[in-house]
Chain A
Amino acid sequence: MVAGVEVTGEGLSCRRGDRLLFTDLSLNARPGTLTAIVGPNGSGKTSLLRMIAGLLKPEAGTLTLSTGGVADEEPATLLCYLGHHDALKAQMTARENLEFAARWQGAVRDPDEALARLGMTRQADLPVGYFSAGQRRRTAFARCWMVGRPVWLLDEPTSALDSAGRAAVIDLIGAHVADGGTVIAATHETLIAGAAELRVA
């Protein structure tokens, strides 16, 4: 079981430049659930994820990550963020990338185990620069699973993935949710049954 972390947001507003993306948005993601953020392009799905990750300050409103009803002091260490960009260094091998992440962010699993789980064992010692978009996505997701923090913030986690990759990713998301993890994903597809839906206008 992972520590159950609840994500609560109230009255959130987001401004990008001169544009107000959304206002007065509320969200509540409980441990053991998947929340799918849906909405048209440019509606602020990515911004909302970055906001929860603490990378983007809300224009208005409050965001809290709490464990057992107590707000956490350092939310950054409770979450993994998988963004649009895979955040991998092209000149380093997949294993080197993951080994660095394991030391910088901490990890609950071994880099090799994580790469194997996503079917990347054969490519582990190749520089990421040679990877296809799908292979990079698998590596980036492997990092998220390896770091294994309670809250997963996923931006289109299945983009560029083939069916085997999708199956592995969906499988791991399901397992994390069953394990008491909190998953919030911006996605257009149904990742697991019974996901809550949060619409960003």
Chain B
Amino acid sequence: MSAFLALVRRDLLLSFRIGGGPFLGLAFFLTVTAMLPLGVGAKLNLLGEAAAGFLWVAAALASLLSLDRLFQADAEDGSLDQLALGALPLEFAVLAKAIAHWLTTGLPLTLAAPVLALMLNMPEAGYATLTLSLLIGSPVFSLAGAIGAALTAGLRRGGLLLSLLVLPLFVPVVVFGAGAVSAAINGFEPGAAFLFLGAVSLFSLVLGPVAGAAALRIHLS
């Protein structure tokens, strides 16, 4: 456990010292959200209707932004070799790094989402559901994203390929997440959507580290 937490702590430290921690992703989230009314026009009812889905898509893109550095930096400076020779299997290294990634992207986005929802005139009934759904669903962006990040770790320009690889994997979370919010707004019980969201999240908790570690081992060799 101490080794696992040490890696989470190291990645958090690095994220704050290099990338400005959670602030870059938040700034992106804010900028994209500000562009929506500029693009579709400031019609409040239209924005309110699109808010839930849009915020989910924006959160997916904001998470994607820092994903390509998840293993790239470690691959470049040789740290990946040392991670592979740790007391814990590589799967746990992937999990620890995905958790650190979520703490610096998914979690801050979740906390910022209600404020942005306010700016987009989202109906009040959706706020709690939006926050809760992002809290449950956004770890998938880091966990399933880790698979794509691991597959493209050794590549010079992996960023574009990475988005092509992981966005299809993000489809179910966005569907269930945004679905839960619009159900709540329209006066339905979002329980079913939450169950699916939780299931996808738990599933990626297993698949992400296993497939991610398998992909990293290719890069090591």
Q: Check A-B contact in the complex, CB < 8 A.
A: yes
Which residues of A line the B interface, CB within 8 A? Answer: 50, 53-57, 76-77, 79-81, 83-92, 96, 99-101, 103-106
- B interface residues, tally (CB under 8 Å): 23
Residue from A53, A54, A55, A77 whose CB has the most chain B CB atoms within 10 Å: A55
A residues less than 8 Å from B7 (CB atoms): 100, 104
Select from chain A the residue with minimum beta-carbon distance to B73: A89
With contacts A81-B82, A92-B10 taken as known, whether A106 is within 8 angstroms of B87 at the C-beta atoms is: yes
Distance in angstroms from B221 CB to nearest chain A CB is 5
Select from chain A the residue with minimum beta-carbon distance to B13: A92
Select from chain B the residue with minimum beta-carbon distance to A78: B85
Please, how many angstroms separate the alpha-carbon atoms of A86 and B17 in the complex? 20
Return the contact of A57 from the options B83, B85, B86, B221 (Cβ within 8 A): B221
Please, how many angstroms separate the alpha-carbon atoms of A105 and B87 in the complex? 5
With contacts A86-B77, A89-B77, A100-B6 taken as known, whether A81 is within 8 angstroms of B13 at the C-beta atoms is: no
Q: A85-B77, A104-B3, A104-B88 are in contact. List 6 more A-B contacts (CB 8 A).
A: A55-B81, A84-B78, A87-B82, A100-B6, A104-B86, A105-B85
B residues less than 8 Å from A87 (CB atoms): 77-79, 81-82
Query: Could you give, for residues 121-146 of chain B, a 1 whenever the CB lies within 8 Å of some chain A CB and a 0 otherwise?
Result: 00000000000000000000000000
Please, how many angstroms separate the alpha-carbon atoms of A173 and B105 in the complex? 44
Return the contact of B85 from the options A79, A86, A96, A103 (Cβ within 8 A): A79
A-B contact number at CB 8 A: 79
Is B84's CB within 8 Å of the partner chain A? Answer: yes
Question: Per DSSP, are chain B's interface residues mostly helix, strand or loop, or mixed?
Answer: helix
Please, how many angstroms separate the alpha-carbon atoms of A81 and B88 in the complex? 16
Distance in angstroms from A129 CB to nearest chain B CB is 10
Query: Could you give, for residues 105-122 of chain B, a 1 whenever the CB lies within 8 Å of some chain A CB and a 0 otherwise?
Result: 000000000000000000
Distance in angstroms from A177 CB to nearest chain B CB is 21
Please, how many angstroms separate the alpha-carbon atoms of A76 and B90 in the complex? 11
A residues less than 8 Å from B86 (CB atoms): 76, 104-105
Select from chain A the residue with minimum beta-carbon distance to B86: A104
Distance in angstroms from B10 CB to nearest chain A CB is 5
Residue from A56, A86, A96, A105 whose CB has the most chain B CB atoms within 10 Å: A105
Distance in angstroms from B217 CB to nearest chain A CB is 8
